[in-house]
């Protein structure tokens, strides 16, 4: 089943997302601005054509991209909300970041002040270090893949070339040469294997240089000439770059990965430790698709107390055939939780189910609820729950998903708190259904 068309002529994806204007095109599809019909919030929907992926031999890579994004929930990383599929397309519902690429800002206005560069760089290092702690290596860090939100905060995007720790060979190293030549570490091109974390830090050094200087440290029309300069660490810093910044760039762009600076040492350097500026918000706000603001639409959804009646389209769209996530969790042993949520049928009243859920979190109300809590690791966790009435029976379908926060924290919440709390309200298929013939 492909996109449906609403009465007003707008395309609606599986009854969940109202697609708006196209934000950009890629090799395998396009990205739309969209509105989540359940919450009213703006999202970006990446539409990928399966046939193009298969012809290019990239089917495994899209699985790897989704697997990586599911493992890294961080304030400075674009969040993956949901994955869906039809016969011909894969849909990724992503956080909508409205401020555009950091690359565009540099291309338009040139280099930034050192204190502004420090703010962006610290957010980048925080995100990259979080990824590495989860065994995820980006491998394509560059200004074009760094976005800015309305508040001017940096968001790392595009995990299309990422690798997981489990993809390393028996020598513990990655061996696929990939990335953007001007940003890639010299050992990635050397053919002898490389440490994904150290290669990412080289790319961070290139980004810092561009922020402070306004051009790339290594850029030649002849790639072999450029590669030799990278191997020798041969670049120049203009006089306006401070001594502390110059020292840090040199430590990051060390062609020897074994002596290249680590994050633990980087965060202790004098330049990194200096105070950060407070930046004014970017003037990029725009109405959500459909006219109302996201907050107004979200309030409307939260105030809804009665469960929505589930129709045939909902049942189809909630089926396993439309949920790609199990394809990317083989061997993880976490079941439906890591696949995006917990779904069950119940004969309890909606108010009773909502009360059970509210007892586990700090806020939330209604048959369509979004609740937040602080996890055991001190990480914010958001859980979304929808309750549907399966007419004409008295059975309700409850769909609980992670709506934000840390994936591992959510898995722990599901297994240790959510499932035990709901155990006695789950309707088993062998039980009688009230009103059934």
Catalytic residue ranges: 140
- Asked if residues 166 and 332 have their Cβ atoms less than 8 Å apart, the reply is no
Cis peptide before 60 (omega within 30 of 0): no
> What gap in Å lies between CA 12 and CA 5, rounded to an integer?
6
Q: Is the Cβ–Cβ distance between 254 and 187 less than 8 Å?
A: no
CA distance 223 to 248: 25
DSSP-derived pairing of the beta strands 163-164 and 136-137: antiparallel
SS3 sequence of 153-215 = CEEECCCCCCEEHHHCCCCCCECCCCCCCCCCCHHHCCCCCECHHHHHHHHHHHHHHHHHHCC
SS (H, E, C) 46-81: EEEEHHHHHHCCCHHHHHHHHHHHHHCCCCCECCEE
Structure tokens at 156: 């790392």
């Amino acid at each position: 089943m492909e996109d449906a068309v609403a009465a007003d002529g707008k395309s609606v994806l599986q009854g969940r997302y109202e697609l708006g204007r196209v934000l950009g095109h890629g090799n395998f599809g396009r990205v739309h601005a969209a509105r989540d019909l359940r919450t009213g919030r703006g999202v970006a929907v990446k539409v990928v054509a399966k046939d193009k992926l298969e012809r290019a031999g990239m089917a495994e890579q899209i699985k790897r991209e989704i697997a990586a994004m599911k493992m890294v929930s961080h304030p400075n990383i674009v969040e993956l909300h949901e994955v869906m599929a039809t016969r011909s397309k894969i849909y990724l519902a992503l956080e909508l970041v409205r401020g555009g690429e950091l690359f565009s800002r540099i291309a338009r206005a040139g280099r930034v002040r050192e204190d502004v560069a420090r703010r962006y760089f610290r957010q980048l290092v925080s995100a990259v270090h979080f990824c590495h702690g989860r065994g995820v290596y980006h491998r394509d860090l560059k200004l074009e893949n760094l976005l800015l939100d309305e508040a001017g905060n940096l968001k790392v995007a595009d995990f299309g070339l990422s690798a997981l720790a489990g993809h390393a060979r028996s020598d513990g190293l990655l061996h696929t040469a990939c990335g953007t030549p001007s940003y890639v570490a010299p050992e990635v091109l050397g053919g002898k294997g490389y440490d994904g974390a150290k290669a990412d830090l080289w790319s961070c050094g290139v980004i810092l240089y561009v922020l402070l200087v306004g051009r790339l440290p290594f850029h030649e029309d002849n790639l072999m000439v450029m590669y030799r300069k990278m191997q020798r660490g041969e670049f120049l810093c203009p006089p306006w770059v401070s001594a502390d910044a110059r020292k840090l760039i040199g430590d990051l762009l060390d062609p020897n990965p074994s002596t290249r600076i680590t994050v633990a040492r980087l965060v202790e350097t004098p330049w990194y430790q200096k105070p950060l500026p407070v930046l004014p918000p970017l003037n990029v706000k725009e109405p959500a698709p459909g006219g109302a603001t996201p907050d107004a639409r979200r309030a409307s959804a939260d105030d809804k107390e009665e469960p929505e009646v589930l129709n045939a389209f909902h049942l189809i769209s909630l089926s396993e055939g439309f949920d790609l996530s199990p394809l990317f969790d083989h061997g993880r042993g976490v079941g439906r939780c890591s696949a995006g949520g917990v779904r069950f049928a119940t004969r309890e009243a909606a108010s009773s189910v909502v009360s059970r859920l509210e007892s586990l979190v700090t806020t939330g109300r209604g048959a369509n609820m979004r609740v937040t809590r602080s996890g055991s690791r001190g990480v914010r966790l958001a859980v979304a729950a929808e309750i549907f009435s399966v007419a004409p029976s008295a059975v309700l379908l409850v769909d609980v998903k992670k709506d934000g926060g840390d994936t591992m924290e959510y898995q722990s919440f599901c297994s240790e708190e959510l499932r035990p709390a709901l155990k006695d309200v789950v309707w088993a298929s062998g039980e009688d259904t009230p009103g059934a013939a």
